[in-house]
């Protein structure tokens, strides 16, 4: 009787401790998302592509490049300037030792039109236009690359939130099992068919499960915060639980993926950068050629006794006028090796761009091989872990029955529980790895998979 009372008291203390520890856990579970708004993956990507600083910067670069192209086209048109001025003079002047008042009309007007047109520039304007077009291409590809980079960042954090949510569900299942096992162990200790060690080990399992729940909740909060920052939202958002189940399309074969990777966003950007470096070098060569410019100026002057605002815009008439037509030929012979230095710098930039393009192509091939194997490996791991979970659940059920009948020890039962928990976490990790690898593969080939 004495040992039974001790066992009963011990059981009550263990159960009470477990209840006390589980109480704040339920409160934390209800606030795990901190009021975050669930969004779909598509909505999160759309938000990021509107608010991402990299995309905003890329759009600004695209606008600047468009303005430069407009200016390059306008260089083929002549410049045109219209001038108009008026002035009034009054007072007196010394004439033959005497101060005499000024004579004549006090108001004077000057108007003029001038134009300038470059007849020959050694191909400078055409080369500059080609260079600007290449710059526009770089800006376009930069925007495409920024969009896929933003989508990849969103997907990584979105999948991290899903994994944390799945981990919490697995930890709660682990907690339920541990709590049930604690009750069963405490009952066996009270009945005198088990030792105190069984209930103590069961209590430890409950504590470990509670820590697993807390860890998964913290991971979810961190993922939500990172996802909110990436999409540029003022309110906290989280992954929608409805996106937890994977419905994945079949991947194209490796041959098609190789073709897509060879034309991916990173390669197109590197190729556009190389084209811009080459166009810049060609444009610089025009500095060695002469230029021929034509200019025409027309001006006239008139005066009046009173101010007449309309005279500011008058052109022609019987007033004195002047017309001038000029042709200017310029041929730079020597400018202190400035052109040669620019040529050297552009040569180096072109070689660097070529090397970067070659390395980007090789990197795309290597990444394709790695990511494709990661996706395939993750799919195989998922299948294996699903089967392992089914086997571990059946093994745990058998061990629970055997332990209840006294045919097995608590150690056997805890081993089965541990195997089930490990299999669940391995399945979650396999899903996360597969999702991220597929997202990286989409970013590499520039196509949603």
* Edge-to-edge strands, sheet with 79-88: 79-88, 107-120, 291-304, 321-330
Nearest to 117 by CA among 386, 432, 328: 328
Please provide the average confidence, as pLDDT, over all residues in the chain. 83
Instruction: Answer whether 315's CB lies under 8 Å from 110's CB.
Output: no
Please give the domain boundaries of the chain with CATH numbers for all domains: 2-78+122-289+335-445 (1.20.1600.10)
Query: Could you tell me which residues come within 8 angstroms of residue 116 by beta carbon, excluding any fewer than 6 positions away?
Result: 78, 79, 293, 294, 295, 296
Instruction: Answer whether 47's CB lies under 8 Å from 147's CB.
Output: no
Looking at per-residue pLDDT, the higher value among 377 and 35 belongs to 377
Pull the structure tokens for residue 215: 């860890």
| Per-residue CA distances from 4 to 8, 195, 203 (Å) | 6, 12, 19
Tell me what the mean pLDDT of segment 343-369 comes to. Answer: 93
Tell me what the mean pLDDT of segment 287-295 comes to. Answer: 89
Q: What is the spatial distance between Cα 275 and Cα 295, in angstroms, rounded to a whole number?
A: 35
Q: What is the CA 332 to chain-centroid distance, rounded?
A: 46
Question: What percent of the chain is modeled with pLDDT above 90?
Answer: 37
Reported in sequence order, the residue ranges of 305-375 that DSSP labels E, i.e. its strands, are 321-330
Hey, which of 27-41, 81-95, 140-154, 411-425 has the most confident mean pLDDT? 140-154
pLDDT, one tens digit per residue, over 155-194 is 999 999 999 999 999 999 889 888 888 888 888 788 777 7
Q: What is the CA 96 to chain-centroid distance, rounded?
A: 83
pLDDT > 90? residue 361: yes
Looking at per-residue pLDDT, the higher value among 218 and 407 belongs to 218
Instruction: Answer whether 166's CB lies under 8 Å from 431's CB.
Output: yes
What spatial distance separates the first Cα and last Cα of the chain, rounded to whole Å?
Answer: 68
């Amino acid at each position: 009787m004495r040992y039974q009372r001790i066992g009963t008291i011990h059981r009550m203390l263990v159960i009470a401790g477990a209840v006390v520890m589980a109480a704040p856990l339920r409160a934390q579970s209800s606030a795990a998302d901190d009021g975050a708004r669930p969004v779909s993956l598509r909505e999160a990507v759309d938000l990021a592509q509107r608010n991402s600083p990299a995309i905003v910067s890329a759009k600004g670069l695209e606008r600047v490049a468009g303005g430069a192209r407009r200016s390059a086209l306008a260089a083929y048109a002549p410049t045109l300037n219209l001038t108009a001025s008026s002035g009034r003079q009054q007072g007196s002047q010394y004439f033959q030792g005497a101060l005499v008042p000024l004579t004549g009309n006090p108001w004077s007007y000057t108007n003029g039109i001038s134009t300038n047109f470059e007849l020959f520039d050694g191909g400078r304007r055409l080369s500059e236009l080609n260079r600007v077009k290449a710059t526009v291409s770089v800006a376009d590809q930069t925007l495409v690359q920024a969009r896929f980079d933003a989508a990849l960042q969103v997907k990584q954090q979105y999948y991290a939130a899903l994994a944390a949510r799945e981990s919490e569900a697995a930890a709660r299942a682990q907690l339920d099992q541990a709590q049930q096992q604690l009750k069963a162990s405490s009952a066996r200790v009270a009945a005198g068919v088990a030792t105190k060690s069984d209930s103590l080990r069961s209590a430890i399992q409950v504590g470990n499960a509670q820590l697993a729940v807390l860890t998964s909740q913290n991971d979810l909060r961190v993922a939500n915060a990172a996802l909110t920052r990436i999409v540029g939202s003022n309110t906290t958002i989280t992954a929608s639980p409805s996106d937890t189940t994977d419905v994945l399309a079949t991947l194209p074969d490796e041959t098609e993926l190789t073709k897509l990777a060879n034309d991916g966003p990173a390669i197109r950007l590197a190729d556009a950068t190389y084209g811009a470096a080459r166009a810049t070098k060609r444009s610089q060569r025009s500095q060695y050629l002469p230029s021929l410019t034509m200019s025409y100026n027309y001006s006239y002057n008139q005066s009046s006794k009173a101010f007449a605002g309309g005279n500011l815009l008058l052109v022609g008439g019987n007033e004195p006028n002047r017309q001038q037509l000029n042709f200017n030929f310029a041929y730079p012979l020597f400018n202190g090796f400035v052109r040669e230095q620019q040529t050297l710098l552009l040569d180096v930039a072109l070689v660097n761009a070529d090397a970067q393009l070659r390395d980007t192509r090789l990197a795309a091939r290597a990444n394709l091989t790695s990511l494709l194997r990661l996706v395939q490996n993750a799919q195989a791991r998922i299948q294996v872990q699903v089967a392992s979970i089914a086997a571990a659940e059946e093994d745990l059920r058998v061990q629970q029955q055997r332990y209840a009948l006294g045919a097995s020890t608590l150690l056997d039962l805890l081993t089965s529980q541990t195997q089930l928990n490990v299999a669940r976490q391995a399945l979650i990790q396999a899903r996360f790895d597969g999702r991220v690898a597929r997202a990286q593969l989409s970013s590499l080939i520039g196509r949603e998979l």
